[in-house]
Amino acid sequence: MKNDLNKPYFTPMVFWLALICVLLLVYGFGPTEVPELIYLSLEPVCLLLAFVFMYYFFCWSLISVFRLGEIGWKRVDYAWLLLASLALISATQAVRVDWFQTDYQLAQQAQAGLQRRVATEIEDMLGVEHCKAAIARYEPQDAAQVSSLCERFAALERTADGRLSVLAEVKVQQALEDIRGEYTAAPIRQWLQGLSESLKELEQQRAEVRRLYGLVTVSATERLYSYFVPLLLVIALALRASKVTGEVLLKAPRRRKLWLIINRRVVIDGLGFARGARARLDEALGNWRVARWGVVHLGCNFIGAPGPQDTPVPVTPGFYESEFQLASLADFDSSEFVEWAATQTIDTLYLVGETDAGLIGRLRLWGAAANIEVLVRERI
């Protein structure tokens, strides 16, 4: 048995798929800086082609191959809603970045302020003016330790205005533990306590800046995911469009007219008119297929060969035409042909070029029971 691939959907699907492949070959492997699949998300034309292809793909698979019923089409809603939801997840990334952007900027400003405060506190102790005034400002024992501390860091780099450079401040911060163990003067202890509190606040603020930076920065995974968001939306919309088509066909199915060919042949009356009959047959077959009349083939090995006065003309099944086998007339009601026909909306069945009276009678009985008009033309 061979069921048809539903030409109205299969052929356009293959055509649009081939067109997408051509575009990917032309642009995807050309002078482009993005991979082929991501390129689909960058070009509106590619997205449009992808939508058309996916629409025909879903129509072919869900209408022609699986033939969903009313409940099946309702369940399709879950699929396209899920795809649309996955696409909308990327919107949370933009909302998050926008929402925390102000907090991130304020945190950076607070960090810069704390850094300036730390630099000022270091300069208050190790500045040139403070070091010169230490002898007159403090007790002799305290002044000696302050002078020693100033001499310890006298060689550090300074800017043009005499202030310690950023690198020098870092060196001072790294030496704080050693300073605590070496100096016991009250001014140095107070300075170390205040500087430690400022450095602790600065470290906390840096942690806050890092946290907010993670919230306002798009991760590599989020960036890669966002590239495929347009494709997810295209697939969701194509699935929704095919659902509409499927439900329309389910509520108002297309009536079909079928030509029935027995044993891949048509019997022509050969009483001197075979050549003209053959020409008419070829023209008729072409018209049937161009007019999109369905053609179904039924193999009946129990039917005898045509008489010597008749000419059997072979009819090769088309790629989209269904083929079935019937072992005997007794098996007609349970045959695959009858089961297949029950899923179709057949209006007229036209049997041409067959003379077996038993088969003709059985088809007419079946047509009357199934409300299908059976037309028979024994010979051409």
For 360-378, what is the mean pLDDT?
A: 89
- pLDDT tens digits, 139-176: 888 888 888 888 888 888 888 877 888 888 888 888 88
Q: Which of 185-189, 244-248, 275-279, 353-357 has the lowest mean pLDDT?
A: 275-279
What pLDDT does 56 receive?
A: 93
User: How do strand 322-326 and strand 310-314 relate by DSSP bridges?
Assistant: unpaired
Which run of H or of E encompasses 319? none
C-alpha 44/C-alpha 148 separation (Å) is 72
For 48-71, what is the mean pLDDT?
A: 88
- pLDDT tens digits, 96-138: 888 899 999 999 999 999 999 999 988 888 888 888 888 888 8
Which CATH number describes the domain made up of 256-377?
3.40.50.850
pTM over 0.75: no
What pLDDT does 345 receive?
A: 80
C-alpha 41/C-alpha 34 separation (Å) is 10
Residue 271: Cβ-neighbour burial (10 angstroms; 0-12, 13-18, 19+): exposed
| For the chain, domain boundaries | 7-67+223-251, 98-216, 256-377
Residue that the structure tokens 């191959």 belong to: 65
Dihedral class, residue 323 (left if φ above 0, else alpha if ψ from -120 to 50, else beta): beta
